[in-house]
Amino acid sequence: MNYRNDRKFEWVTSEQELLLLAALQQGKDATDAWQQWKTTVDIEDIDPESYRLLPLLYRNLSVHGVEDSEMVRLKGVYRRRWYENQLLVSKITELLRYFQDAAIETLILKDVALLLHYYQDDGLHPIDIFDIFVRWADGDAAIALLNKLGWKLKEKVPDKILSKLSVITFVDDSGKILNLYRHIYWYPWQENTDFGSGAIATQIKDLSTYVFNPTYQLLQLCQQGTIWHLVPPIRLVADGMTIINSFADSIDWDVIVADAEKYRFILPLQKMVAILSELLLAPIPGEIIKKVRDLKPSAFELMEERVSAGEPLPVIKTFIIRYSQYLKSVQSSGLKFKIMGFPKYLQEVWGLDNLWSVPFQVTLKGMKRIRNDIFK
């Protein structure tokens, strides 16, 4: 492969491009990229996000029969990841068993789902956080169960607010974080039957649970790539290519395009498809690539990106984040409802007794953030 050093994608550096090629491509493209990458960087001093991909790099180079003095180092990183994940998989399995015994069905998300269902190798993907989705109707029982098992709220939340939150963050005595989801605004699922057509059944050892199907798993990567989630893009690219490599025939790209437009994930989808198709040569249908390129981000999505890049005052940024979340939650409503409903949304999010308390809370929270920014 004749790699173009002047090639540049917005999401990753030129060194990370080489690493992605070496870790995810096949044949001479992979081995040539490896030779270039290792002479471009100091493996002992690479950025943390590149380090996360070293186990994936090790496996790919091993498959290609690469013999190199650096393979010993890469194998050590892989084995350490594998060992750490054994402990975490055992922990999440025990937790899911309690959910199963309590008749609470679960859908596992993000790190655990990617590792166990999509990578299918305990040494390849780190588990930073446990993310579990339950039906809204099971939310109170799930919270009570986690409390019983020693998981505590990461931040103190009044009960009247807790009952309305879509995502609740817990932490255990070891410092492990767990996010309990009761609603994901972009994911349609059936309340009284199952988790809908977007979920598929899977096994973790002898336990039954659900994960997103490949289509919705890719859509979640786009959602994580929005500017407010701050997930480093190189992770998303590696995860996306892994899903496509194994499940290309199961991906409904039309659903991804339609939902990305509907829920304002256009910019991350465009960046994702560009690097997957142009750099990694992912088998994405040509008509889909064209559709994605032709999508027009909304004015608000473009404004979000400009605000994020410009690093505005925290109070302004926080307001825009809140309004963005609100718009996405009522994306099918008319303009008048969107404008008039925002104060009501803030009332519910903050657990206020009446609508007239909202302006006071806006002022109070704004003053606190400005004060914190000044004296930090």
Higher-confidence position of 144 and 302: 144
Q: Which residues pair with 84 in a beta bridge?
A: none
Rounded to whole angstroms, the Cα distance separating 240 from 282 reads 10
Q: What is the pLDDT of residue 333?
A: 44
DSSP 12: B
Q: Please, which residues have CB within 8 angstroms of residue 67's CB and are 6 or more apart in sequence?
A: none
Q: What residue spans define the domains of the chain?
A: 101-212, 214-303, 312-375
Q: Burial of 57 by CB count in 10 Å (0-12 exposed, 13-18 middle, 19+ buried)?
A: buried
Rounded to whole angstroms, the Cα distance separating 254 from 215 reads 9
Q: pLDDT tens-digit profile of 325-359?
A: 666 555 444 444 455 677 776 776 666 667 777 77
Higher-confidence position of 365 and 180: 180
Q: What is the pLDDT of residue 354?
A: 73
Q: What is the pLDDT of residue 282?
A: 96
Residue 45 · residue 75 · CB < 8 Å: no
Report which of 371, 361, 351 is spatially closest to residue 161, judged by C-alpha positions: 351
Q: What is the pLDDT of residue 376?
A: 47
Q: pLDDT tens-digit profile of 163-211?
A: 777 889 999 999 999 999 988 878 876 555 568 889 999 988 889 999 9
Tokens found for residue 261? 């437009």
Rounded to whole angstroms, the Cα distance separating 123 from 79 reads 7
Residues belonging to the chain: 376
Strands 177-181 and 130-133: parallel
Calculate the CA 297 to chain-centre distance: 20
Q: Please, which residues have CB within 8 angstroms of residue 281's CB and are 6 or more apart in sequence?
A: 25
Q: Which CATH code for domain 101-212?
A: 3.30.460.40
Rounded to whole angstroms, the Cα distance separating 152 from 176 reads 11
Rounded to whole angstroms, the Cα distance separating 234 from 12 reads 6
Residue 217 · residue 256 · CB < 8 Å: no
What is residue 82's three-state secondary structure? helix
Distances (CA, A) of 186 to 145, 198, 264, 342, 344: 27, 11, 10, 19, 21
Q: What is the pLDDT of residue 129?
A: 96
Distances (CA, A) of 56 to 23, 68, 221, 278: 6, 16, 18, 20
Is pLDDT above 50 for 8? yes
Cα angle 73-110-186, degrees, rounded to a multiple of 5: 150
- CA-only gyration radius of the chain, Å: 22
Centre a 10 Å sphere on the Cβ of residue 344 and count the other Cβ atoms it contains.
Answer: 13
Task: Say whether pTM exceeds 0.85.
Answer: no
Q: Which residues pair with 169 in a beta bridge?
A: 179
DSSP string spanning 26-46? Answer: -HHHHHHHHHHHHHHS-GGG-
Q: What is the pLDDT of residue 226?
A: 78
Q: Which of the four pLDDT bands, split at 50, 70 and 90, describes residue 4?
A: very low
Tokens found for residue 300? 């608000």
In this prediction, residues 309-333 reach a mean pLDDT of 58
Residue 328 · residue 185 · CB < 8 Å: yes
